[in-house]
Amino acid sequence: MKKESNLKRLLRYAGGYKYLTVASWILSALSALVALLPFVYIWKVINEVLDVAPNYGDVQALSHNGWMAVVFAVAAILIYIAALICSHLAAFRVQANMRAKAMHHIVTLPMGFMDGIGSGKVRKIVYESSAATETYLAHQLPDKANALATPVGLIVLLLVFDWRLGLLSLLPVAAAFAIMSVMTGKRMAEKMEEYNNALGQMSNEAMEYVRGISVVKTFGQSVFSFRRFKEAIDNYEKWVIAYTKDLRFPMMCYTTLVNGIFAVLVVAALVMASGGVTNGFLLNLMYYIIITPILTLTLTKIMYASENKLIVADAMSRIDSILEMEPLPETNHPKHPKDNSVELSGVSFRYKGAKRNALENISLTIRPGEHVAFVGPSGGGKTTLASIVARFWDVESGSVKIGGVNVKDIPKEKLMDTVSFVFQDSKLLKTSILENVQMAKPDASREEILKALHDAQCDDILEKLPKGVDTVVGAKGVYLSGGEQQRISIARVMLKNAPILILDEATAFADPDNEAKVQAAFSVLAKGKTILMIAHRLSTVTGADRIVVIKEGKIEDTGTHDQLKDKDGLYAEMWRQYNKAAKWKVGVSNA
């Protein structure tokens, strides 16, 4: 089956606006033909001047021909503007619909999707790839129609006045076109994909580097601390230099040919005029030298249109890479949890591309209202275990149940109403605090939101802000600390009031004052709820009903803090090391 062209797919995004795209091509081509008519009148002007020379006072139609040239030039401009209006209206609709479709699909994907692909790469695909299609439809396609119509009219004009000079002026054009075809062929498509891969990787690593810049500056490190970012820059540099050198010679030949048409005409004129020069031959030579630069401009437009076509093809493939990702399957027989218990049976999970399982045969039952803490070495699988409870990913074997119901059988909206999260790096949108909290419950009243903020220990935050709860975060210098953002996020979770709460290092970035308030907010939030807490700071889990020790994707041990700290095992060793670190003080020399 023949694959549908990228242009047809783009026009499907345009809906009813696709007819404006077609209209833009017709108008642009018409504009190109009309733009050639002034040159006919210029020929008439030159012809009349040569006929009456040296009695220039005998000219009669000079003014008429001059004004007709102006009229057709203005008409060509107005028609081209109309073409661009049509193309831009359609292009903006395509861009908007493409972004909307991509974003609507993204929200159906597993919630861990963003961690796997990288937020910087997703942003580049959704925004920059769709922007490339806008440039293609709004400018390149009308210009291509214009550029294709221009040679047709030009060939007629070149052959009508003097077919010999016309054919000679087309020889360098044909050679330049052949070189351009080589530069913009299949090999160029491969190069364009390599270029966007290198650029996308560098963009993604740059975002990660910016996020960690505080650590780099704190410890006086350089860019070499972020090896992957430096490697991405080095790879991009090598690619650009190699690509530039590869195209250096053909581009030099192409540029020489398209700009050297007049030189061919001059040489031809010297040969053809060896027996004498007539006014007619001189007229046609002057006319061709004036008109042939249009061929240079036309070929350049075609070359850039061909290059942009490759960019669009690559952009479409990147959009497809998201649209082709399988969303989480929705059950045809939805069920609702009976309570807020959590049960994992023989669960194993491996991230895409990983060499070993992140979780290996995990079985765990958490009773309704039980507070369970996950501890263990970094990379052991704590966050992954909590994530599959919320169905960030689907497990490869075993089952995850909430309230006795497999999470795969719980409707997505119901699952999100059942489970809430507080992450260590909670983010707020650039909108008012009230609207940030209201996201958890869109129909919540102002009073409900204020109560949630009060319970989350946010009163001191609201008091110092210029407009209180209506203050827009991130606007006009209004910024909150990490601990303050965390408390606003907790207010959001309180308003949602989900029966199961996942806390992932929720106090990791809080200062002592903020941590005390966050803990006070948690004490209110946790009442009657099932809590899954992930922590490295062991002092925060001593009061948990049960502690689950996880190492290399497996459960090493379970029990209360008192049971585990006196038991020979991983937790006891972690507790000893934690207390040793907590008691450590920097020595001050008196010397």
Question: What is the DSSP annotation of 186-226?
Answer: HHHHHHHHHHHHHHHHHHHHHHHHHHTHHHHHHTT--GGGS
Backbone angles phi, psi at 383, to 5 degrees: -65, -35
Strands 546-551 and 554-559: antiparallel
Strands 405-406 and 397-402: antiparallel
* Single-letter residue type at 33: L
Q: Which of 323, 352, 382 is the last residue of a domain?
A: 323
Check residue 124 and report its DSSP letter.
I
Please, are residues 126 and 103 in contact by the beta-carbon 8 Å criterion?
A: yes
Give me the DSSP letters along 293-332. Answer: HHHHHHHHHHHHHHHHHHHHHHHHHHHHHHHTSPPPPPPS
Strands 371-375 and 342-349: unpaired
Those residues whose C-beta lies under 8 Å from the C-beta of residue 1, and which sit 6 or more positions away, are: none
Tokens, residue 309: 């076509």
Instruction: Residue count of the chain, please give it.
Output: 591
Residue 328 lies in a domain: no
Alpha-carbon Rg for the chain in angstroms: 35
Looking at the structure, do residues 199 and 109 belong to the same domain, yes or no?
yes
Closest CA to 375 of 555, 579, 566, 582: 555
Those residues whose C-beta lies under 8 Å from the C-beta of residue 384, and which sit 6 or more positions away, are: 349, 351, 358, 359, 393, 553
In which residue are the tokens 């221009």 written? 150
Closest CA to 240 of 211, 270, 197, 208: 197
Looking at the structure, do residues 353 and 238 belong to the same domain, yes or no?
no
Looking at the structure, do residues 14 and 97 belong to the same domain, yes or no?
yes
Residue 227 lies in a domain: yes
Distance CA 188, CA 369 (A): 61
Looking at the structure, do residues 354 and 268 belong to the same domain, yes or no?
no
Looking at the structure, do residues 290 and 354 belong to the same domain, yes or no?
no
Q: CA–CA distance from 145 to each of 140, 226, 298, 463 (Å)?
A: 9, 47, 10, 62
Helix (H, G, I), strand (E, B) or coil at 249: helix
Closest CA to 433 of 381, 474, 389, 397: 474
Looking at the structure, do residues 347 and 316 belong to the same domain, yes or no?
no
What pLDDT score does 78 carry? 96
Instruction: Give bridge partners of residue 344 from the DSSP assignment.
Output: 364, 400
238: left (phi over 0), alpha (psi -120 to 50) or beta: alpha
Please, are residues 38 and 77 in contact by the beta-carbon 8 Å criterion?
A: no
Residue 330 lies in a domain: no
Distance CA 378, CA 256 (A): 61
Residue 587 lies in a domain: no
What pLDDT score does 2 carry? 55
What pLDDT score does 590 carry? 45
Looking at the structure, do residues 285 and 419 belong to the same domain, yes or no?
no
For residue 547, give its domain range: 342-581
What pLDDT score does 582 carry? 64
**Residue 438 CB neighbour total at 10 angstroms:** 20
Residue 336 lies in a domain: no
CATH number, domain at 162? 1.20.1560.10
Please, are residues 341 and 215 in contact by the beta-carbon 8 Å criterion?
A: no
Backbone angles phi, psi at 396, to 5 degrees: -85, -30
As for how many domains the chain has, the answer is 2
Please, are residues 292 and 265 in contact by the beta-carbon 8 Å criterion?
A: yes
Looking at the structure, do residues 235 and 113 belong to the same domain, yes or no?
yes
Q: Exposure string (b/e) for 384-398, b if CB count within 10 Å is 16 or more? A: bbbbbbbbbbebeeb
Tokens, residue 164: 């010999």
Within 324-361, residue ranges assigned H as helices are none
Crossing angle (nearest 10°) for helices 6-14 and 62-106: 80
Looking at the structure, do residues 312 and 364 belong to the same domain, yes or no?
no
Crossing angle (nearest 10°) for helices 279-291 and 163-183: 20
Distance CA 188, CA 194 (A): 10
The CA-based angle 494-499-505, given to 5 degrees, is 65
User: Residues in the chain with pLDDT < 50?
Assistant: 1, 218-220, 586-591
pLDDT digits (tens, 9 = 90+) for 382-435: 888 888 888 888 888 899 999 999 998 988 888 888 888 877 666 788 888 999
Residue 590 lies in a domain: no
Distance CA 346, CA 215 (A): 39
Residue 68 lies in a domain: yes
**Residue 322 CB neighbour total at 10 angstroms:** 20
Residue 78 lies in a domain: yes
CATH number, domain at 514? 3.40.50.300
Backbone angles phi, psi at 229, to 5 degrees: -65, -45
What pLDDT score does 236 carry? 79
Looking at the structure, do residues 263 and 381 belong to the same domain, yes or no?
no
Q: CA–CA distance from 288 to each of 59, 73, 307, 361, 561 (Å)?
A: 23, 18, 29, 81, 93
Distance CA 259, CA 299 (A): 10
Instruction: Give bridge partners of residue 375 from the DSSP assignment.
Output: 549
Q: Which of 290, 323, 356 is the last residue of a domain?
A: 323
Distance CA 493, CA 501 (A): 9
Please give the order of strands across the beta sheet that includes 371-375.
Answer: 419-423, 500-504, 530-534, 371-375, 546-551, 554-559
E-state strands within 350-452 = 359-366, 371-375, 397-402, 405-406, 419-423
Looking at the structure, do residues 82 and 155 belong to the same domain, yes or no?
yes
What pLDDT score does 149 carry? 84
Please, are residues 348 and 324 in contact by the beta-carbon 8 Å criterion?
A: no
